[in-house]
């Protein structure tokens, strides 16, 4: 009997410890402030409605992943966060998106918004210029002319994007000579150079090989200390690896939005379960 009793008490102790750790983790999560608050967002491309009553609270210094099948509205949603959809004719938006207490659809200063909310796209889209000029482009447009200051921004940004060591000796060569994975990290550096608060990423690794993908993932995980990151990804394991929260989109609606570990271990909605286990369709 004594061994049995010992087994059980050991289990109890372990469970109590696990419980404490979990509740501490929860408390840390709860302590984070809301960065982007989206309320009842509807978006129409002409007659066709693409987003239906989306409400999400995106927390500061977290990575939030948006997942869902093609055409579910996740990229459309991502682009509403820095008003990229304004560039498309016939787009109508209702609802509210508040970033740092400011309704971004009630401001006229879109430039300021896009400085604050940077974006990285699916395919590296560097300008046909040197690596240095690519990263310095934004700050120069903002009027920074001082060479020392620009040097500092370029170095800090490239370091922040974990690419400095690979390019520091070739800053004055064409950025297009870099590999796909390096180009994508320079794109991230270019976004960082604008000192944004939020970085939006639209499938940033889908054009990269597995090793480059892992480097970018590692970078994203480290970047959340300084930035709030929202990422669209088709790679569910990637969402599971790098994000704190995951939103599952389907037909323009958010089916489920929860801590990433819940979405991938015990999703509440059957449609989420079917999607994350690859049985969708």
Partner 1 sequence: MVIRENFENNLNELKRKINEMGKLSIDALEKAYNALETQDVEIALKVIEEDTDVDNLENEINQFAIWLMAKEQPVARDLRVIIGVLKISSGIERIADFAVNIAKATIKIGKTNSLLQTTHLEQMKELSILMLQKALQSFSEEDIVLAKEVSELEDKVDQYNVETYKILTTYLSEHPEETNQLVQLLFVNRYLERTADHITNIAESAAYLIKGQIYDFNQ
Q: Nearest distance from residue 206's CB to partner 1, in Å?
A: 18
Nearer to partner 1, 35 or 241 (CB): 241
Contact 73, 13 (CB under 8 A): no
Nearer to partner 1, 133 or 256 (CB): 256
Ramachandran angles phi, psi of 253, nearest 5°: -115, 155
Contact 234, 202 (CB under 8 A): no
Q: Nearest distance from residue 256's CB to partner 1, in Å?
A: 12
Nearer to partner 1, 69 or 180 (CB): 69
Note the residues at the interface with partner 1 (CB under 8 A).
1, 4, 7-8, 11-12, 15, 236-237, 240, 264-267, 273, 276-281
Nearer to partner 1, 7 or 40 (CB): 7
Burial of 12 (0-12, 13-18, 19+ CB in 10 A): exposed
Ramachandran angles phi, psi of 41, nearest 5°: -85, 125
Helix axes 180-192, 131-141, angle to 10 degrees: 20
Q: Nearest distance from residue 7's CB to partner 1, in Å?
A: 8
Q: Nearest distance from residue 179's CB to partner 1, in Å?
A: 26
Of the candidates 209, 188, 90, the residue with the CA atom closest to the CA atom of residue 134: 188
Q: Nearest distance from residue 65's CB to partner 1, in Å?
A: 13
d(CA 1, CA 14): 20
């Amino acid at each position: 009997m004594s061994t049995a009793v010992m087994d059980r008490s050991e289990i109890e102790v372990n469970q109590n410890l696990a419980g404490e750790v979990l509740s501490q983790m929860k408390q840390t999560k709860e302590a984070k402030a809301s960065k982007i608050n989206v309320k009842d967002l509807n978006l129409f491309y002409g007659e066709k409605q693409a987003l239906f009553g989306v409400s999400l609270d995106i927390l500061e210094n977290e990575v939030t992943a948006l997942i869902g099948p093609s055409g579910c509205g996740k990229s459309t949603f991502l682009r509403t966060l820095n008003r990229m959809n304004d560039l498309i004719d016939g787009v109508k938006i209702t609802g509210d998106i508040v970033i740092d207490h400011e309704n971004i659809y009630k401001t006229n200063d879109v430039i300021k918004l896009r400085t604050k909310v940077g974006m990285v796209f699916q395919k590296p889209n560097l300008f046909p210029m040197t690596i240095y000029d690519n990263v310095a482009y934004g700050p120069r447009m903002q009027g920074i002319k001082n060479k020392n200051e620009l040097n500092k921004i370029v170095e800090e940004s490239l370091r922040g994007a974990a690419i400095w060591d690979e390019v520091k000796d070739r800053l004055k060569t064409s950025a297009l000579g870099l590999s796909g994975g390096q180009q994508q990290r320079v794109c991230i550096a270019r976004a960082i150079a604008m000192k944004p608060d939020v970085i939006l990423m639209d499938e940033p690794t889908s054009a990269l090989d597995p090793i480059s993908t892992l480097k970018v993932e590692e970078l994203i995980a480290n970047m959340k200390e300084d930035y709030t990151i929202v990422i669209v990804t088709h790679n569910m394991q990637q969402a599971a690896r790098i994000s704190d929260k995951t939103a599952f989109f389907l037909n323009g609606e958010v089916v489920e939005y929860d801590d990433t570990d819940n979405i991938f271990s015990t999703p509440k909605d059957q449609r989420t379960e079917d999607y994350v286990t690859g049985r969708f369709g």
